[in-house]
Structure 1
């Protein structure tokens, strides 16, 4: 199942943040990839940096190890598969990670772009809708940015792991 079918429930999103998530979801695949790159270029400036201490790179050896050995064309294809929630080996490896580790994967890839990760095409111009989303992300407060980034990250990849229904959803209390 695409990762987004179980995501978003745990994120406390404001209406503004929900609108920015919807705007991001309305972008094309390559626009989303470019926007993720620009988001990570802005981290620590106008966009809140994700907490690297809340991640564990050892949980993503395929995405942070094997992936780096692939050709630029293969890497780009895998990024597209993840964004499009395709049922593939790498998309599944991404989809089973928790949001913070998913963010860590994108951060590591953005940091390695042009070195061990496929780079942005030279002369790439961000689209007007993508620039609009980036500016809207910059305008969010700290909590809004983190919630938005976690939601965007969790809406990608493929997983067949299903969320456990809550007590509110089932009407039953959990038993030990």
Structure 2
């Protein structure tokens, strides 16, 4: 399997979408997970149709099937490992997927939260930073929202696969 794209080239292209991604990256691990949860809670009806229709769930049996059989503590640790790009089996499985499949994973998990996926603690209180980021993404059009989520999802997980250097970088033409 290969990585989804050159992680040095952001999918979020406008300054507004890049700002949201930067602010998201400034959150701690659990705040990132909470933000993703709230995004799917508040805007799931508009965001989620893009992910399942373009995804290939059969590429992620470990993250869709096996994951749902784990304890809440194990699931939360896996989510944290993926957000923190740790070198673990689940984080590698996630990092090997393309962005649409990565978004699909978060969609499946969000849909199952509180049921077969660990839910938000009942006493969790959102922070001002999370609320500000939610307000920002709600003001962005659908394409911008998806580009933000693709960028965020694509930056998570672990992969040691590097992008292939371009001709400009190597000075060599490709051989046939």
Gap runs ≥5 in structure 2: none
State the SS of the aligned residue for 1:148. helix
- Provide the C-alpha distance between the structure 1 equivalents of 2:45 and 2:69, rounded to a whole number of angstroms: 31
1:12 deviates by 5.2
- Give the alignment's TM-score, normalised by structure 1: 0.90
Distance change in 2, residues 1:101/1:69 (3 Å): same
Q: Give the secondary structure class of the aligned counterpart of 1:158.
A: coil
TM-score (norm 2): 0.90
- 1:91-110 deviation per Cα after TM superposition (whole angstroms, max 9, x unaligned): 11101100000000001000
Q: CA deviation at 1:6?
A: 3.7
Helix, strand or coil: the match of 2:163? coil
State the match for 1:109 in structure 2: 109
Paired residues, number: 174
CA shift, 1:47, in A, is 5.1
For residues 142 and 159 of structure 2, the distance between their equivalents in structure 1, rounded to whole angstroms, comes to 29
- Runs (5+) with no aligned partner, structure 1: none
Q: How does 1:9-158 map to 2 (within 5 A)?
A: 9=9, 11=11, 13-44=13-44, 49-158=49-158
Residues 27-69 of structure 1, C-alpha deviations (whole Å, 9 max, x = no match):
0100000110111112355657424221011100000011111
Cα deviation for residue 16 of structure 1 reads 0.8
RMSD over aligned CA atoms reads 2.1
Q: CA deviation at 1:10?
A: 5.8
2:162 corresponding residue in structure 1: 162
Deviations 1:92-137 (A, max 9, x none): 1101100000000001000000110001000321110011111111
Q: Which runs of 4+ in 1 moved over 6 A?
A: none
